């Protein structure tokens, strides 16, 4: 009976373990990203020296940007951006602060930095 129970339990353990082994190499995070629509009015540049630049082109012709440091947290599979600012067409949306983004790897090696998993909004690596 105990062995039979183990046969039911092992597949669950195996499936969970599969999820745990899909690590992210931080090097793949380096590059240029666009927010969902890909129109490049909201761009994120992640550099190899652990700095980033976030640039937003408003529809009135103004341009806003913010810079800071980033680091990858392998435990949570997330990137922590320091002093991050979100922008809209009126300018900065928030004071600089920590923005924590889950990394999602899609098929064909597409890298996404999630903004809202509920609304499927993200920065997607384009280069």
Partner 1 sequence: MKHSLVVAQARHEFKKRGASEPLIQYNSSFSLFHAYATSYVNMTAQFVGGARVSIIPMQGGGTKYIVDNTTDRYSYYAHLPFIQNYPRTEGVITPKSTIYQRFIWIEK
Least distance CB 113 / partner 1 (angstroms): 10
When binding is defined by CB under 8 A, the residue of 35, 87, 99, 123 that contacts partner 1 is 99
Q: Which of 56, 51, 27 is nearest to 125 (CA)?
A: 27
With binding defined as CB under 8 A, does residue 5 bind partner 1?
Answer: no
Bridge partner residues of 108 (DSSP): none
With binding defined as CB under 8 A, does residue 97 bind partner 1?
Answer: yes
When binding is defined by CB under 8 A, the residue of 21, 22, 109, 119 that contacts partner 1 is 119
The size of the interface with partner 1 (CB under 8 A), counted in residues, is 21
- Rounded Cα distance between 127 and 122, Å, is 15
41 alpha carbon, distance to own chain's centre: 18
With binding defined as CB under 8 A, does residue 115 bind partner 1?
Answer: yes
Which CB atom, from 6 or from 37, has the smaller least distance to partner 1?
37
Which CB atom, from 38 or from 76, has the smaller least distance to partner 1?
76
**How far are the Cα atoms of 21, 31, 39, 92, 118 from residue 54, in angstroms, in the given order?**
31, 12, 15, 11, 23
88 alpha carbon, distance to own chain's centre: 19
Phi, psi of 29 (to 5 degrees): -80, -20
Least distance CB 102 / partner 1 (angstroms): 7
Residues near partner 1, by CB under 8 A: 80, 82-86, 94-102, 114-119
């Amino acid at each position: 009976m105990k062995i039979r129970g183990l046969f039911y339990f092992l597949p669950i353990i195996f499936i969970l373990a599969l999820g745990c082994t899909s690590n992210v190499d931080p090097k793949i995070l380096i590059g240029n990203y666009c927010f969902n629509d890909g129109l490049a009015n909201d761009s994120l540049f992640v550099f190899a020296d652990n700095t980033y630049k976030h640039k937003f082109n408003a529809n009135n012709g103004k341009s806003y940007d913010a810079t800071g440091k980033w680091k990858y947290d392998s435990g949570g599979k997330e990137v922590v951006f320091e002093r991050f600012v979100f922008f809209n067409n009126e300018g900065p949306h928030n004071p600089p602060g920590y923005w924590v983004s889950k990394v999602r790897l899609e098929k064909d090696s597409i890298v996404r930095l999630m903004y809202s998993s509920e609304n499927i909004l993200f920065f997607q690596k384009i280069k």
